[in-house]
Amino acid sequence: MKTVNKLIVKTVELMPKSLVRVFSNRYIAGDSLKDGVAFVQKLNSQNILATMDVLGEAITTHEEAIQAKSECIEVIDAIEKYQLLANVSIKPSQMGILLDEEFCFKQVSEIVEKAAANKNFVRLDMEDSTTTDRIINLHNRLKEHHKNVGVVVQACLRRTLDDVKVLNATGTNYRLCKGIYIEPEKIAYRGKQEIRDNYLAILREMLTNGNYVGIATHDDYLLQNALKMIEELGISKDKYEFQMLLGVKEDLRDKINKQGHKVRIYVPFGEHWYQYSIRRLQENPQVAWDIFKNLFSLS
């Protein structure tokens, strides 16, 4: 099945954008900020929180990065205007970290300061391993002046547990995920269970040190073990939340929400939906298989 799924992903990548869009609508709120706001309002009505993200990361100029920053500030304004239960996530590459780290720091500082003025929060997404040090350094610099910033760490990387032991000292607010990037085996775990084991080891390190954690996963094994760990350690509900992607395992999302745990959904929107859709397919070939079956059911 793995081989079949990979072949299907390659096939989907060759499909017209219009056809991919039909099946990506479930995972993206829409093209505009208005679409994102409407979707978050719907989630909030179900007592579900959101993190909003303007799609787009492949910038090549300072001008594009400045435009991305402006769009992010518009999101923060919209959250305040509509009193949404939401924060924002940003990709450092979208803010120019690959162009100039100092430029990126100034860009993100503006966003974090705007969010602080609105009593909101900014999450720095983690990207591939070539950016890990730069993103952690960016986070640490921002933390020297602002409390309303946190970072994502990836359980697939061998270094992450050691990174967390250092980051814990500053009271870091985390999103812990498995990680979607294909990395060299020298620096990353490849086996499903060894990634799971590392995820739980990292989570325990975070929770026992009193840090706030966004437990970001759709893996039933990890979710059940996380709940057991929370109960075992006596962690209060104001010290963690569960985070999931829009359109993925909504039944599980609703179950956790009804159990009284805080749930936050990642709500991406924007004109650069295609790149995000393909990345989601690469991360989860089963989705591609579902698309393939749906195509035949429509024929």
Token couple for 166: 């250092």
Separation CA 189–CA 220 (nearest Å)? 19
Question: What is the predicted pLDDT for the residue at 298?
Answer: 44
Separation CA 110–CA 112 (nearest Å)? 6
> Residue 95: inside a domain, yes or no?
yes
Buried b (16+ CB within 10 A) or exposed e, 74-94: ebbebbeeeebebbbbbbbbb
> Residue 229: inside a domain, yes or no?
yes
Separation CA 20–CA 272 (nearest Å)? 13
Half-sphere exposure in the Cβ direction for 64 (13 Å, CA): 14
Q: What is the tens place of the pLDDT at every residue in 277-290? A: 666 666 666 655 65
Q: How many domains does the chain have?
A: 1
Question: What is the predicted pLDDT for the residue at 191?
Answer: 94
- Asked if residues 175 and 150 have their Cβ atoms less than 8 Å apart, the reply is yes
> Residue 247: inside a domain, yes or no?
yes
> Residue 287: inside a domain, yes or no?
no
Classify residue 278 by burial, with Cβ atoms within 10 Å: 0-12, 13-18, 19+.
middle
Q: Residue 226: which CATH number?
A: 3.20.20.220
Separation CA 93–CA 101 (nearest Å)? 10
Going residue by residue through the chain, which has 299 residues, state the pLDDT in tens, using 9 for 90 and above.
Answer: 556 556 666 666 676 777 667 767 788 899 999 999 999 999 999 999 999 999 986 789 999 999 999 999 999 999 999 999 999 999 999 999 999 999 999 999 999 999 999 999 999 999 999 999 999 999 999 999 999 999 999 999 999 999 999 999 999 999 999 998 889 999 999 999 999 999 999 999 999 999 999 999 999 999 999 999 999 999 999 999 999 999 889 999 999 999 999 999 999 999 877 777 666 666 666 655 655 555 554 44
Separation CA 93–CA 95 (nearest Å)? 5
- Greatest alpha-carbon span in the chain: 58
Q: Which domain holds residue 199?
A: 29-269
Token couple for 153: 């760490």
> Residue 97: inside a domain, yes or no?
yes
Question: What is the predicted pLDDT for the residue at 265?
Answer: 98
Question: β-strand 240-245 against 174-177: which pairing, if any?
Answer: unpaired
- Asked if residues 223 and 255 have their Cβ atoms less than 8 Å apart, the reply is no
Nearest in space to 46 (alpha carbons), one of 254, 270, 213: 254
> Residue 96: inside a domain, yes or no?
yes
What pTM, to 2 d.p., does this model score? 0.90
Backbone angles phi, psi at 83, to 5 degrees: 55, 50
> Residue 79: inside a domain, yes or no?
yes
> Residue 127: inside a domain, yes or no?
yes
